[in-house]
Structure 1
């Protein structure tokens, strides 16, 4: 059973989630990724793209975000989720000095830095896996699940992807290795971790790893990518602070798209129950899903953002959503490109087409700052119709509430009122 307490700073966390390889314009597929990391003679080279992020820190701060959730930054074979070295920054992004410069600059602005811990699997090109395939008696062999009775030996892979080799989470050596990775980067500026594919890792594994990490970094925040399953039980058994709220994400875009607020109401009730156990990480977009503005249109996307910022949770905004970016996720090679775009050299080069959405996001973040108790607010429904919903987000720490009205009967609109009935935000 979990005995730790989530760090106090998390109750004020509003994060900006980026996919660094895409954001910085690095190639992420096949030969293009390999060529970018090597000279013509095969010698490795480093491209200092992480410096690109420095130009965006003021933008992050001015919008009101106080955390940046980084996608994969460690040395990988292609898209970042196929790690080859956990102790090294991907040379397509830069080196450790570039990363230290980024974390220092972020911390100087009061911005926390969260990393993507891809600890369920590694690349088939990971040196330890290559050695394990060659010699079943080597030390590295215990890091993986390999059937040496087959010819050639066959390893357990992640969801059928042969290039992604599962780690053996029953092995004490894997727990030791992952603890060392998290501790190492904690001393280099990482304040928190998103545990990729946490739904695929036995929760008890994390109950062995995280206490060691917290011994060294007591203020670390750790949450898991959990798409399905018993959220509360996984959080409790693993010792993670939180998990991703995919149920609410799906209900938000689906109810707005299908004009069925009954679905959202049902999931808000579920969300209330989760808040009794832990505070979920909430979102309306990430690096794995079609952009919210593509899914339901620009106007309704802003209504989804209103819900994101007025219900309990730890809200994360996927980069570009605050600018009204569009992008379709497709199940094909290169199918993630639209949702993982390169960003301009500086915010000044952004298209003016995104100014309206950005202004709304700025107002919503300011609203969240004004009413910090929204972090653990529970919702109660006042009006429920297919295309019209009114709910109250209620202060659990004292008096007061916010009333939120969503209306998609004609032109999509949202109104937020304080406890006196005064309108404090209107979107139409």
Structure 2
């Protein structure tokens, strides 16, 4: 792994990216609304993503999952619609760990060949490739048709009379059928029958999940007895561990560069600590990203689970969202990095992903430009990875009512749909700004400039960090609740980064402490030329502990000033 490169991940929901349908219907099926394909990630498309500053692309929803679309013509059994969310289905309800989702293929019978071609094109474009690994749960009707010869299917040898057995792949509720307040009847397919009921993916160990549960999934058994509370049964190694390690190795052999591991903290850390080193022994450059939300478990999943990176959601994301929306002070940013200072290089920063509401939605900021200060902070604070979600760079609002996913400020992961901003940016495969409005062009330019700086500027990619806020509180020319300032230093260059969360332009005076000059080994300068990297303009500033740095900051913006010694 190239440790001098700052990882910039472009997450894309694969089935939506290339869909050019203009008039999608709510709850429309594949025939009505269309679907993007792996082939839509052309050399031109990948070049455009790379040009934006991305180093990695995370193709979300590659592995075959439950769907209401009929693929029986290709030998794929139909899924009962009562246990599928949305017409397209959730990409996190895996129905065959060894297969590519047929929705994504121009020729479904050639889906694995089309995937191999996508891997090749991605690498030819200079990007590295990440896919999902969904370890905690599978679709209710999971059955692998594509598994290698000699491989036993999940649940194939389970003793269904046992609620829990370390040899079982699933948890059961013996003697009870799946029921509760779920509507398990469909006019065409009849009633969905599951006897005995399996435990539901969000740790419902009973036969009566409700509509707010992950009712379309079943929980995988890694040897933890949640039902009888007899503890962990990890010796001998549970059967599920071996099966899931084999799945990781299967996809790693396809030439991918990393896994984003869904709800990794719902799987015992001991499994990761056992599996990841074995996979990396064969594929040492693979990266593993964990979706983990419990800060008390961060160090466990890094040091014992051997993950490379963890979501920084409940720390930096939540703080920057609150500051952007005016609910919190910018001073809260300091405590975020301090709480993970010893593991900061392992934290993945983001302001959007498929689970979170869009910045431009009515539920977040209502305006994508309000998050520009947060983006500068998130991308430039340290050497750790940064991720954006496709359409974020265009101000996509996520305010469509697509179907199963209602008007909730998120881009649907359950429905067939087309993303207006992405469709216009692609402009029939040309990937230019001809069909974008002026605000979208400006935002796209900002994201491109900021994200490319992350690796063109050594101080951001691999430099040291110094928080300036402790000497800028309660000063008469800087509002610590609306402005945030820090330094990045590498070699003979230092970056002074100051952002303004206020909707008013501000003239600020930033104090630089003597300790910063001593710690970063910087010479003081009464007056020096500083290049502002976002605009390209040059400013004359004082860079000394004896005098403040006086700056004019744009509303909802910031400056990245480079000083060379």
TM-score norm. by structure 2 comes to 0.65
Could you give the per-residue CA deviations for residues 254-283 of structure 1, whole angstroms, max 9, x where no partner exists? 1121252122232132243432xx421111
Q: Residue 30 and residue 198 in structure 1: after superposition, are their counterparts in 2 closer, same or farther (change >3 A)? A: farther
Q: Contact (CA 8 Å) 1:248, 1:268: kept in 2 or not? A: yes
1:304 maps to what in 2? 374
Counterpart selection for 2:196 from 134, 139, 153: 153
SS of 2:346 mapped into structure 1: coil
Higher mean displacement: 326-335 or 48-57: 326-335
Could you give the per-residue CA deviations for residues 42-62 of structure 1, whole angstroms, max 9, x where no partner exists? xxxxx8811012241111122
Q: Deviation at 1:352?
A: 3.0
Q: Deviation at 1:404?
A: 1.6
Task: Tell me the distance in 2 between the aligned counterparts of 1:30 and 1:293.
Answer: 21
SS of 2:498 mapped into structure 1: strand
Equivalenced residue count is: 407
Counterpart selection for 1:325 from 393, 396, 409: 396
2:322 maps to what in 1? 254
SS of 2:487 mapped into structure 1: strand
2:170 maps to what in 1? 144
Task: Tell me the distance in 1 between the aligned counterparts of 2:217 and 2:368.
Answer: 36
1:404 maps to what in 2? 497
Q: Residue 279 and residue 133 in structure 1: after superposition, are their counterparts in 2 closer, same or farther (change >3 A)? A: closer
Q: Contact (CA 8 Å) 1:260, 1:387: kept in 2 or not? A: yes
Q: Deviation at 1:195?
A: 0.3
Counterpart selection for 1:422 from 524, 530, 538: 530
Alignment RMSD, CA only? 3.5
1:176 maps to what in 2? 242
SS of 2:325 mapped into structure 1: helix
Residue ranges of structure 2 left out of the alignment (5+ in a row): 67-88, 106-110, 144-152, 178-194, 203-212, 224-236, 413-417, 474-478, 511-521, 523-527, 536-553, 556-565
TM-score norm. by structure 1 comes to 0.84
1:40 maps to what in 2? none
Could you give the per-residue CA deviations for residues 7-39 of structure 1, whole angstroms, max 9, x where no partner exists? 225843211111112324499x99966x76xxx
1:42 maps to what in 2? none
Q: Deviation at 1:329?
A: 9.4
Q: Which has the larger radius of gyration?
A: 2
Q: Residue 30 and residue 328 in structure 1: after superposition, are their counterparts in 2 closer, same or farther (change >3 A)? A: closer
User: 2:62 matched to 1:51?
Assistant: no
Q: Contact (CA 8 Å) 2:329, 2:480: kept in 1 or not? A: yes
Q: Deviation at 1:189?
A: 2.1
2:206 maps to what in 1? none
Task: Tell me the distance in 1 between the aligned counterparts of 2:196 and 2:4.
Answer: 45
Task: Tell me the distance in 2 between the aligned counterparts of 1:299 and 1:111.
Answer: 27
Counterpart selection for 1:20 from 7, 14, 32: 14
1:334 maps to what in 2? 405
Task: Tell me the distance in 2 between the aligned counterparts of 1:359 and 1:413.
Answer: 23
2:263 maps to what in 1? 197
